[in-house]
Amino acid sequence: MTSPHFDFVKDFFNTNGCTITEESPSHMNIQLTNAMDEEIMNRPFYWHYMKKMNRQGEPMQLTFTENTDEPGIYLHAGTPKLHTIYETAMKKGKLTRLYEAVDEPQANGALTPWLVVNALLHYRGKQTKDEPVSVGLQLLHGTFVPRMMERISNYAFNMTVSDYTFPMTPIIQLKSAYKRIEGYVENHTSSQNHNWARDSHQQLEQEEQLLQSFYESGDMSEDQFNKEHEQLFKRYRPRIEMEVVNGGLFYLSQQTSQEMLTS
Partner 1 sequence: MFDIHPDETFIQKLSDSLDHPEELSSWESFKLAYQASSFQTIPRFDGLLALEHLPHVDFLDHQVDAANKVVHEMNGRAILADEVGLGKTLEAGLILKEYMIRGVAKKVLILTPASLVNQWVQELNEKFYIQAASPRKKQASWKDWEVTVTSIDMAKRESHREEILSIPYDMVIIDEAHKLKNHQTKNYQFVQSLQKTYCLLLTATPIQNKLSDLFNLVSILKPGYLGNLTDFKKKYRYHKDDTKGVEHIHSLVGQLMIRNRRKDTGLNESKRHVVNERLAFTEKESEWYNQLTALKSDHNSFAWLTLEKEICSSREACFMSLKEMAKKMDESKAQKYISLMEQLEQLPHHTKAKRMVELIQQSDEKFIVFTEYRATQFYLQWYLQQHGISSVPFSGKFNKSKRDWMKQLFKNKAQVMVATEAGGEGINLQFCHQMINYDLPWNPMRLEQRIGRIHRFGQEKDIRVYNFAIEGTIEDHIMNMLYEKIEMFKKAVGDLDDILEKIPGGSFDQQLQSILKESDSRGEIDIKLNNLVSYVEYTVNEGRELS
d(CA 26, CA 67): 7
Measure CA of the first residue to CA of the last residue in the chain; give whole Å.
32
Q: Does 2 bind partner 1 (CB under 8 A)?
A: no
**What number of CA atoms fall less than 13 Å from residue 121's CA on the CB side?**
18
**Helix, coil or strand: residue 159:** coil
Give whichever of 5 and 259 is closer to partner 1, judged by the CB atom. 5
Residue from the set 34, 43, 49, 90 that interacts with partner 1 by CB under 8 A: 90
- By beta-carbon proximity to partner 1, the closer residue of 108 and 224 is 224
- Which helix (H) or strand (E) element contains residue 40? helix 34-40
Work out whether strand 61-65 and strand 27-31 pair parallel, antiparallel, or are unpaired.
antiparallel
Residue pair 43/51 in contact by the 8 Å Cβ criterion:
no
193 binds partner 1 (CB under 8 A): no
Candidate ranges 47-55, 105-113, 164-172, 209-217; the one touching partner 1 (CB under 8 A): 209-217
Instruction: Find how far residue 140's CA is from the centre of its chain.
Output: 26
Among 161, 201, 254, 259, binds partner 1 (CB under 8 A): 201
Stretch near partner 1 under the rule CB under 8 A, chosen from 27-35, 138-146, 184-192, 251-259? 184-192
> Between residue 9 and residue 68, which ones bind partner 1 under the rule CB under 8 A?
11-12, 15, 68
Q: Which amino acid is at 8?
A: F
Q: By C-beta, is 48 or 239 nearer to partner 1?
A: 239
- Contacts with partner 1, 220-239, as mask; x by CB under 8 A: x---x--xx--x--xxxxxx
Kindly state whether residue 97 participates in binding partner 1, applying the rule CB under 8 A.
Answer: yes
DSSP for residue 103: S
